[in-house]
Structure 1
Amino acid sequence: MADDIPRLPVTSREASGLWTLRAPAGTMLGPVVAGGTVHVPLTDNRIVAVDANGGDLSWCSRALADPDSHALARADGAVVVPVRRDIERCAFTALDPASGEVLWERRKSPLVRHAAAGATVVFWGEAGEDRWKIAGVDARSGETQWEDEFGTIWDLLVCGPRVILDVGDLRALDARTGEELWTRESAGYGALIRPDTPSDSVVFHSWSSSAVLSVRATGTGEEISRTRFPKRTVHRFSYDPALVDGERALFSAPLRRRARLYAYAGRTEAEPLAMPYLGWWRFTSLCEPAVCVGDRLYAVTWRRRLYQAETAGGRRLLRPVGVTAPDGRTLREPSVLAAGPHHVFVGGYGGVAGVRDGEVRWVAPTNLLGNGPVPLDTDRVLFRSRTDDGRRDELHCADADTGRRHG
């Protein structure tokens, strides 16, 4: 741990798991949750690790060289942080997850993408002549365990001890050894999507030759199911769908005025569930992809308004939601959405709100702009605030249903 540990007092309520971390104003950035630990980047290029349950400070790293902290990955035995990133090359620093000490450093290379796969860190290229290169590195020592090349690595997804690649065909590699486990023909040009519920499967979304979701077992590559979507409809959305509760697929995209929700699990043909849209008189469009929580779909627009639609027998129009809590507090200019298991959290001008079942449960003033809430688990949420006197920043681990904070 760095010798000059910053003064970051914590107040906590252990029984409820609520806590508040404090720092001088302007020194604390947005949190990153990885491996059950909350990582808090500081403006002096250090990273603080905080216990998610009690808010205790575990360690503080030394200053890193221009870290991209929000892209850190937690492997078994190391926290890997991209540093000194540019368009075509990137270096990496690995920190001990118990102490924050530097374990190893990787010099700048064209392998600019990375992912944690158990005790291995996988690096691969995404541009130019290096788009076909991939390597597996021991997370603890930084030693290269294997290297390989493919025609082009279009996409990569880690599923437990396996690395699933889209290289024209679908292939699975053992993350530790690089050994090829299986190869299967893909359903066309598309993308790999991780299921949103724990499962031993991977989903491939194809939108070129046919609009399908192909669910495959990660152990064998065998196709479990294949669901076809109305091609003419979903091709209007250039983004991959968000998978919801393992059974539904939500299509939406910025600059679109519509969303599409389908049931796909166990079906050969997708069943349309909800097709909400904004009326043309709104003179606006969605500013980021919509989210679906339970039986409601939520979206925010460029005009800084929150909208919702019911997904079961509801109206087709996205209707506005007044972001005022029962205590009379109002969230101004909603602009950021974060979906939790049961709630959607909304960041806006100087505040954060928690919404459940279409109702605003609470609004908390933060005195910060662009403050994106981060769901922590089923019943807690992280967000930052600044004290009224402007002298102190606070990171709150709050109750998801009430917004209650400690301290």
Structure 2
Amino acid sequence: MEIEDRLPLTVDADTERRRWTLGAPPGVLGRPVVAGGTVYLPVADGRLAAVDPDRGRVLWCSAPLTEPDSARPVPVGEVVVIPVQREHGRCGYVALDAVTGTVRWRRIKSDLHRVAAAGSTLVLWNNTYDERGKIAGVDALTGEVLWENEFDRIWRLLVRGERVILDTGGLRALEARSGEELWREGYGSGYGSPLPGPGSPQPGQQGTDDAAVFHAWKDGTEPELSLRASDTGEQLAATRFPRRALRHFSRPPVLLDGGRALFAQSYGRRLQLYAHSGLTAAEPLLEWRLARWRFTSFSEDPVCVADWVYAVAGRRDQVYAAQCGGGSGPRPLPVTAPDGRAVTLPRTVAGPSHLFLSDGRTVAAVRDGRVLWTTATDMYDSWPVPLGSDRVLFSSRSRTADRYRLHCADAETGRRLT
């Protein structure tokens, strides 16, 4: 057992299996987030701790920050940038040294409330309806403003390597370090809007995609998903989608691993999954309609893990599962806690290999449409956080309620150190 300096934390670790547990008094630990291969953990007094993901050791703890948004750290080179004092349409930023946690620079609150990392540059922008779309490049190490620009509106932003792809009513690309415009294509929806690819669930975040290409979605009478070169904007390939089949869907698709596109419409609880990679016409893989009543909805957006699609719907938020190409529709997925009670009102968290469920007091893991394990946490606010493909983070409370614990557990079995 090791006592960490400056924080009332205890650490138990199994370094061979890369499992560990942090213990602390009530009110010390917040909800963890994984970014850039490090676990960031909010602790008491507005501080942020960086935790070694393999040993559970606290690497550093920052000084108190003013209203930090610890759920959205942005690692960029030698620093990690934390939004602070966030409100609708406005935000400030603090850059912490990635090795020591000391403050490198601060930026006062402004209307540039969206942030993304592009190489050694921090890209800040806004997408509010009542203001023009402003964008700036900031040196990640110093906080120096490198360039600024302004458009009528920035509808979407996507980072590909050192390039920033924008939808400003037409597609255009900027060089992240200089702000120089590399290319521009037309104006209007006919040119599509850039889409985050697999591994990029948040707009503006770099994922596992090839930096040389990006996808763009064009809606309208001829829906089309195109693959484009990020350095020139040239269309390399395109896949057509059936307009009649998509008439109920108002949002662009979510791109998944394996060259698949997922469409979901909350009202009516509709879902469709298509294969698109290397095809001129998309091929349907799965279609759901869980309710015939108009004013029914999914409790949250459906998710896809491996070859299974999961959705939560109904009065008691029943979990449904269906296998892509399995030939059958969705089926209810019963989730039962160790004491025999059904887990109600669950939220879903998709990992690389598992789906994790929680109702705040119980955590469960699902793989291939089957519940692998459930465990009680005795906490109201205990939401799982995937750590790679084989581990998961979640919190629990001791039976005497005088100790809170953050577990790094095995994703397949739920085994953890106590």
TM-score by length of 1: 0.92
- Compute the displacement of 1:5 (Å): 2.3
Match of 1:269 in 2: 281
- Say whether the 8 Å CA contact 1:190–1:208 is kept in structure 2: no
Unaligned runs of 5+ in 2: 199-207
User: 3-state SS of the aligned residue for 1:44?
Assistant: helix
Whether 2:343 is the aligned partner of 1:332: answer yes
Name the structure 2 match of 1:308. 321
Q: 1:354 to 1:130 in 2, by over 3 A?
A: same
Shift of 1:354: 0.7
Paired position in structure 1 for 2:203: none
The AA in structure 1 aligned to 2:370 is E
CA contact (8 A) 1:329 1:363 kept: no
Instruction: Give the one of 390, 401, 405 matched to 1:390.
Output: 401
After superposition, the Cα gap between the structure-2 partners of 1:209 and 1:112, relative to the gap in structure 1 and judged at 3 Å, is farther
- Preserved contact between residue 330 and residue 363 of structure 1 (Cα < 8 Å): no
TM-superposed deviation, 1:293: 1.6
Counterparts of residues 7-406 of structure 1 (less than 5 Å): 7-127=8-128, 130-185=131-186, 188=190, 191-196=193-198, 197-200=208-211, 201-208=213-220, 210-279=222-291, 285-302=297-314, 303-316=316-329, 318-324=330-336, 332-406=343-417
In structure 2, relative to structure 1, the CA distance for the partners of 1:198 and 1:127 (3 Å cut) is closer
User: SS of 1:168's equivalent?
Assistant: coil
Distance in 2 of aligned mates of 1:112 and 1:156? 13
| Identity across matched positions, percent | 47
Correspondence for 2:201? none
Return the letter of the residue paired with 1:252.
Answer: A
Give secondary structure in 1 for the equivalent of 2:71. helix
Corresponding residue SS for 1:85: strand
What is the CA-CA distance between 1:254 and the residue it aligns to? 3.3
Q: CA deviation at 1:146?
A: 1.3
User: Is contact 1:26-1:43 (8 Å) kept?
Assistant: yes
The aligned amino acid for 2:317 is R
CA distance in 2, matches of 1:88, 1:379: 37
Contact 2:221 2:243 (C-alpha < 8 Å) held by counterparts:
no
Does structure 2 conserve the Cα–Cα contact (< 8 Å) formed by 1:77 and 1:96?
Answer: yes
One-letter amino acid matched to 1:300: V
Contact 1:332–1:349 under 8 Å retained in 2: no
Q: Structure 1 residue 154: deviation in Å? A: 1.3
- The 10-residue stretch of structure 1 (228-237 or 175-184) with the greater mean CA deviation from structure 2: 228-237
Conservation of the 8 A alpha-carbon contact between 1:92 and 1:105: yes
Q: CA contact under 8 A between 1:227 and 1:268: conserved in structure 2?
A: yes
- Offset at residue 349 of structure 1 (A): 4.5
Question: Residue 116 and residue 255 in structure 1: after superposition, are their counterparts in 2 closer, same or farther (change >3 A)?
Answer: same
Change (3 A) 1:154 1:279: closer
Q: Is the 8 A contact 2:171 2:193 kept in 1?
A: no
* Length-normalised TM-score, structure 2: 0.89
* Paired residue secondary structure (1:11): strand
Say whether the 8 Å CA contact 1:333–1:349 is kept in structure 2. Answer: no
Cα RMSD (Å): 2.3
